[in-house]
Structure 1
Amino acid sequence: MFSLLSTSRDFVGRFVALMSIFWLAACQPVSLSGGGSGQRIDPKAPVPVALLVPGGSENSMDQLLAKHLENAARLAIADLQGVNINLRVYNTAGNPSQAASVATQAVNDGAKIIIGPLYAEAANAVGRAVAGRNVNVLAFSNNAQIAGGNVFILGHTFQNTADRLVAYAKQQGRSKIMTVHARTNAGEVGRAAITGAIAKAGATYAGVGSYEFSQDGIINAVPGIASTIRSSGAQAVFFTSDTAGALPLLIQMLPEHHVDRNIVKFIGLTRWDIPAQTLALPGVQGSWFARPHPGMASKFNARYSTAFDTPPHAIASLSYDAIAAIGALVKSGNAGALTASGLTQGSGFVGASGIFRFHPDGTNQRGLAIAQIQNGQVVIVDPAPSSFGGAGF
């Protein structure tokens, strides 16, 4: 689609969801008496762990994702030292009712904790199904609305990314921040995350611009958005759109409508280096986005590729992270390692792409680097932290 962006009105192509494939409509988290304390274990014995993957569906992508999630989990188990994980894999077919059924079966089989499933609706169903059995769930979803009680989410959240980027923008003297988003459910979720991050950082909300999620809707909205940027005195504009959606058109048209890039910094809530062709777009030069620790992510990708003769899917690292966290907790020798208090210990864990930790509300915090696009290349301008309490925290 990038070859079609030589002029503003040449924008065509498929729009995709702003959130990752495992984000769905809002669900209700499970509340457990005692805050979802979780199962106690014998850390000297093999620990039964259930992995719920979307295998068994008619969707070929679900089959691929299931394989990559299982591969990454087994790679993580191979890396553990002094810990014995008894991993059992269950297929959900990407279906909430089947996910709930196999989760119940997994607990009956002795599982002390559940990893997965992938989709938010299925994860919510699993959390409810095993709530009465006092079993915690580490879901692959990034939908914060299903987190809580016995459900902890592993996916990268908009809130975590927004918090990191807004804090960095303020440090760099760009505290007046405006948001531009689509009038969609996902766009509103992104806007809310940025608004919350601005308040948390003590920055200034400079205003908001929105657009109907269509080609004509974007083209018609840009003059008004550009006018608001200029009149608000915004020092940065935060976009919720990704590069497969409205972003290329927005970043091309706004400078055409007198938004001075020497005054206003563009910031992305999504990865602007994916796909790589995005880096060549004139409108992204000088912009910021957040990404996982580059060195650790590259190392994981290389190890996975060597072990399985194929590059990992982007979500495979989440499965590795879940096993890494469980392994670290079990290795501590604490019988309460997999309870909520164990999972939310403040120092966090080291995963495939850097440090991360779970919050008591079931959401997560991940250490992210700040990247700037310069001359078509990604340059890290603020590295990912190596521990909690460091940069960005």
Structure 2
Amino acid sequence: MIVPLTGPDGSVGTSIANAAKLALLDTREQSIRVQVYDSNRTGGAAAATQQAIADGNRLILGPLLAEDVRAAAPVARSAGIPVIAFSNDEGVAGDGVYIMGVTPDQSISRVVAYARSKGANSFGGLVPTGLYGQRAAQSLIESVRRSGGRVNSIESYDRTPAAIGDAARRLNAKGPVDAVLIGDATRTAAIAAPTLKVGGHKLGTELWATDRTIGKTAALRGAWFSATPDTQFDRLVTRYRARYGKTPYRLASLGYDAMLLAVRSAPNWPIGRAFPAKTLIDKDGFAGVDGNFRFGRDGAAERLLEVRQVTAAGSSVVSPAATAF
């Protein structure tokens, strides 16, 4: 497992690694050993991958960040070792790399479909400049088109309060719509929401799912966003606290579920042999802490997501995740 153990994301990486170890304990699988390497070591994720391979590892879980996946993937690929990364960047998936993260495309498609089912026909969007904003905008356009709606306008902004407010006012000037996607984290959404006057409903992305204090912003109450189900994660939190004496980060579930994949493959993975990567492609998918998912041929995890509505207390489920593909 390659995750940040030091630096600004060190506590997140440690949480992911601890959850993976907990999965081994919970399943009582004796044939698998996990070794954890710091992606922030000297030489970065590439050096960590080289060390992991030299130590005899046959499967890489991680890294967390897309740039680290880009560094690690060629090293692992040259050794014929698959990578199950924790990124949500579809650009790093494929050719032996599988990503566990919820992608913007899946998240936006799910919440747009729900909004359409509730009568929304016209959509607007606020997205940041940069790669994530570009992908969010494209996802909005494509998902609305597939569902038979229309996109009136999408405005972009640099991440400063003034620029966010200006983008919201530009969107207001384009006329009313039934729903507006704020394709950014909740901190940005909290700045934009009070200024937006054109949308009947505000929509969020997967970035909203980790903020359980989102309801503190009154202007976001009633907004919809999609997320992985929390039921099994809440149970993981209880076991994690009992084992490690602290609460895990929400992304810890990715480490737990990645280890479950390895355990599921254990019967077809003789000790000392290559990991059977073909076991990762199953049309019926896998059940994990984050609900059901399966890997497509492109290496990205397709997830069954629920839709939540922001409330004063946080959020509540308004459309449960499907139970099967």
Partner of 1:304: 240
Alignment partner of 1:167 is 2:113: yes
Deviations 1:329-362 (A, max 9, x none): 324x477994443212112212222122211111
Alignment partner of 1:237 is 2:195: no
The whole-number CA distance in structure 2 between the counterparts of 1:99 and 1:183 is: 27
Matches within 5 A, 1:317-356: 317-331=253-267, 333=268, 338-356=275-293
Deviations 1:112-143 (A, max 9, x none): 21111222222112110121221110111111
Deviations 1:295-346 (A, max 9, x none): 1121112221121110002221111111011212324x47799444321211
**SS of equivalent residue, structure 2 residue 181:** strand
Q: Is the 8 A contact 2:41 2:48 kept in 1?
A: no
Partner of 1:33: none
Partner of 1:224: 170
Alignment partner of 1:158 is 2:101: no
* Counterpart amino acid of residue 254 in structure 1: L
Q: Which residues of structure 1 form unaligned runs of 5+?
A: 1-50, 389-393
* Counterpart amino acid of residue 86 in structure 2: F
The verdict on how the C-alpha distance between 1:174 and 1:305 changes in structure 2, with shifts beyond 3 A counting, is same
The verdict on how the C-alpha distance between 1:352 and 1:308 changes in structure 2, with shifts beyond 3 A counting, is same
Q: Is the 8 A contact 1:92 1:98 kept in 2?
A: yes
Deviations 1:263-297 (A, max 9, x none): x2111114546544431323112210112212112
Q: Percent identity?
A: 27
Q: Is the 8 A contact 1:324 1:349 kept in 2?
A: no
Matches within 5 A, 1:205-216: 205-216=151-162
Partner of 1:378: 315
**SS of equivalent residue, structure 1 residue 299:** helix
**SS of equivalent residue, structure 2 residue 323:** coil
Q: Is the 8 A contact 1:210 1:225 kept in 2?
A: no
The whole-number CA distance in structure 2 between the counterparts of 1:187 and 1:94 is: 30
The whole-number CA distance in structure 1 between the counterparts of 2:17 and 2:163 is: 42
The verdict on how the C-alpha distance between 1:93 and 1:183 changes in structure 2, with shifts beyond 3 A counting, is closer
Partner of 1:128: 74
The whole-number CA distance in structure 1 between the counterparts of 2:114 and 2:35 is: 42
Q: How far apart are 1:154 and its partner, in Å?
A: 1.4
The verdict on how the C-alpha distance between 1:142 and 1:273 changes in structure 2, with shifts beyond 3 A counting, is closer
The verdict on how the C-alpha distance between 1:134 and 1:201 changes in structure 2, with shifts beyond 3 A counting, is farther
The whole-number CA distance in structure 2 between the counterparts of 1:68 and 1:130 is: 24
Range with bigger deviation, 98-107 or 109-118: 98-107
Partner of 1:92: 39
Among candidates 70, 76, 88, match of residue 142 of structure 1: 88
Q: Is the 8 A contact 2:265 2:276 kept in 1?
A: no
Q: Is the 8 A contact 1:370 1:384 kept in 2?
A: yes
Range with bigger deviation, 197-206 or 352-361: 197-206
**SS of equivalent residue, structure 1 residue 206:** strand
Partner of 1:367: 304
Range with bigger deviation, 296-305 or 269-278: 269-278
For the pair shown, which has the larger CA radius of gyration, 1 or 2?
1
Deviations 1:4-46 (A, max 9, x none): xxxxxxxxxxxxxxxxxxxxxxxxxxxxxxxxxxxxxxxxxxx
Partner of 2:224: 288
Q: Is the 8 A contact 1:113 1:135 kept in 2?
A: yes
The verdict on how the C-alpha distance between 1:235 and 1:123 changes in structure 2, with shifts beyond 3 A counting, is same
The verdict on how the C-alpha distance between 1:309 and 1:82 changes in structure 2, with shifts beyond 3 A counting, is closer
Q: How far apart are 1:244 and its partner, in Å?
A: 1.5
* Counterpart amino acid of residue 299 in structure 2: G
Q: Is the 8 A contact 1:300 1:353 kept in 2?
A: no
Q: How far apart are 1:254 and its partner, in Å?
A: 1.8
Partner of 1:254: 196
The whole-number CA distance in structure 2 between the counterparts of 1:105 and 1:210 is: 42
Q: Is the 8 A contact 2:305 2:322 kept in 1?
A: yes
Alignment partner of 1:116 is 2:62: yes
The verdict on how the C-alpha distance between 1:190 and 1:212 changes in structure 2, with shifts beyond 3 A counting, is same
Partner of 1:29: none
Q: TM-score, normalised by structure 2?
A: 0.89
**SS of equivalent residue, structure 2 residue 184:** coil
Range with bigger deviation, 333-342 or 136-145: 333-342
Q: Is the 8 A contact 2:194 2:219 kept in 1?
A: yes
Q: Is the 8 A contact 1:222 1:254 kept in 2?
A: yes
